[in-house]
């Protein structure tokens, strides 16, 4: 059985003391899973490096000229902040560091063993986050696949019969009181659904609403032309002419460009 490849993590080091940066770089170089993608000597460089490289890990000094480590995190904002380990010679910042949700706090001078312990904890947390993100993406894809499969056709009852109308066969749909009339090649079917519920179910990349009472299949549009009123005239492949109201004109044009 193949062993899954180990995850690789990108790190940024920011410290105003070059010897401190050298130490962190050398320690990280001993771990094949970590790649140092950028270094900085002050807060502005930290912000720029995170925005440019989107690292998984930020090793960040607290006291630096100008913008300190806490200001760096505030400037980046919660959505952009990676996993953070504060590295500093002052233990008085420890509580505040954890209040900002830092993963750990390295107090200078630290031993290789202490650094290894911190790094192991960081990698465990990053792997947990990766798996959780992958699970959410898989769930979202499964949900989308199920939804698209379910919506590949419209199933309706008509005079005691069950009719199956593939969505690809629909040319356009018009509202008719509490029903919709579905137009396909050579057939019109009255369905007890609201236009809004059907619009919400249809794939928006394939179907577009052209005014309050009609939806068209974009693949069936032959021509779009302006009218003197400011509305637009839509000509379908079957010869049907429909009006596009001004409020829906932009979405129709965007759909046709796609």
Quick one: pLDDT at residue 220?
92
Q: Could you tell me if 139 and 163 lie in one domain? A: no
Is pLDDT above 80 for 41? yes
- What average pLDDT score do residues 169-190 get? 87
pLDDT in tens, 137-164: 555 444 444 444 444 677 776 666 777 8
Same domain, 109 and 158: no
How many domains, in total, are found in the chain?
2
Q: Can you list the alpha helix ranges (DSSP code H) found in the chain?
A: 18-29, 43-53, 69-76, 94-99, 112-150, 195-201, 246-257
Does residue 113 fall inside a structural domain? Answer: yes
221 is a domain residue: yes
Interaxial angle between packed helices 43-53 and 69-76, expressed in degrees from 0 to 180 and rounded to the nearest 10: 40
Note whether 135 and 16 are same-domain residues.
Answer: yes
Q: What is the side-by-side order of every strand in the sheet holding 179-184?
A: 187-191, 179-184, 170-176, 214-217, 207-211
The number of beta carbons lying within 10 Å of the beta carbon of residue 187 is: 11
Residue 230: the pLDDT is 76
Do 40 and 59 lie in one domain? The reply is yes
Cα–Cα distance, 184 to 224 (Å, whole number): 20
- Of 108, 127, 145, the one marking the end of a domain is 145
Q: pLDDT value at position 3?
A: 41
Q: Among 122, 145, 168, give the residue marking a domain's end.
A: 145
More confident residue, 53 or 156: 53
Query: Out of 15-19, 64-68, 84-88, 136-140, which region has the weakest mean confidence (pLDDT)?
Result: 136-140
Q: How far apart are CA 191 and CA 178, in angstroms?
A: 9
* Inside any domain, residue 120: yes
Model pLDDT, residue 143:
47
Q: Are residues 37 and 122 in the same domain?
A: yes
* Lowest model confidence (mean pLDDT) among 18-27, 151-160, 244-253: 151-160
Domain co-membership, 48 together with 127: yes
Question: Helix, strand or coil for residue 13?
Answer: strand
Question: DSSP 3-state assignment of 186?
Answer: coil
Q: Of 74 and 144, which is predicted with more confidence?
A: 74
**pLDDT > 50? residue 4:** no
Pair (86, 123) in one structural domain: yes
DSSP classification of residue 183: E
Q: Is 2 a domain residue?
A: no
For residue 161, which phi and psi values (nearest 5 degrees)? -110, 160
What CATH number did the domain enclosing 91 receive? 3.40.50.2300
Are residues 124 and 181 located together in one domain of the fold? no
Asked if pLDDT for residue 244 goes beyond 50, the answer is yes
**Domain with 112 in it:** 9-145
100 plus 193 within the same structural domain: no
Quick one: 141 and 168 in the same domain?
A: no
Quick one: average pLDDT of 236-249? 89
Same domain, residue pair 129 and 213:
no
- 39-71 in b/e form (b: 16+ CB < 10 A) is bbbbbbbbbebbeeeebbbbbbbbebeebbbbe
- Write the DSSP symbol of residue 6: P
pLDDT of residue 90 exceeding 50, the answer is yes
pLDDT digits (tens, 9 = 90+) for 92-132: 666 665 566 677 888 888 899 999 998 998 888 888 777 76
Domain CATH code at residue 251:
2.40.50.1020
- Summarize the confidence of residues 70-94 as an average pLDDT: 83
- Percent pLDDT > 90 in the chain is 33
pLDDT of 192 reads: 81
Q: How is residue 49 written in tokens?
A: 């490096």
pLDDT at 82 exceeding the cut of 70: yes
Neighbours of 121 (CB within 10 A): 14
| 141 falls within a domain | yes
pTM above 0.75, yes or no: no
pLDDT of 188 reads 87
pLDDT at residue number 56: 92
- pLDDT score of 34: 93
Residues 14 and 131 in one domain: yes
Last residue of a domain, one of 145, 162, 185: 145
């Amino acid at each position: 059985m193949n062993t899954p490849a180990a995850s690789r993590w990108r790190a940024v080091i920011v410290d105003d003391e070059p010897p401190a940066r050298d130490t962190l770089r050398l320690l990280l170089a001993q771990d094949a899973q970590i790649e140092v993608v950028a270094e900085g000597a002050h807060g502005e460089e930290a912000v720029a490096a995170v925005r440019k490289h989107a690292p998984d890990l930020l090793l960040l000094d607290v006291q630096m000229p100008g913008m300190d480590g806490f200001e760096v995190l505030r400037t980046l904002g919660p959505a952009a902040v990676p996993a953070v380990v504060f590295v500093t010679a002052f233990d008085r910042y420890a509580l505040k560091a954890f209040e900002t949700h830092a993963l750990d706090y390295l107090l200078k001078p630290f031993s290789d063993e202490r650094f290894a312990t911190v790094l192991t904890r960081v990698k465990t947390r990053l792997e947990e986050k990766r798996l959780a993100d992958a699970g959410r993406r898989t769930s979202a894809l499964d949900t989308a696949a199920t939804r698209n499969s379910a919506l590949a056709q419209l199933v309706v009852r008509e005079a005691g019969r069950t009719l199956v109308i593939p969505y690809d066969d629909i040319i356009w749909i018009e509202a008719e009181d509490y029903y919709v009339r579905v137009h396909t090649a050579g057939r019109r079917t009255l369905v007890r659904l609201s236009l809004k519920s059907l619009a919400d179910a249809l794939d928006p990349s394939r179907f577009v609403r052209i005014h309050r009472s009609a939806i068209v299949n974009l693949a069936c549009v032959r021509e779009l032309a302006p009218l003197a009123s400011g509305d637009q005239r839509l000509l379908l492949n079957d010869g049907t002419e429909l009006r596009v109201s001004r409020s829906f004109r932009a979405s129709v044009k965007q759909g046709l460009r796609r």
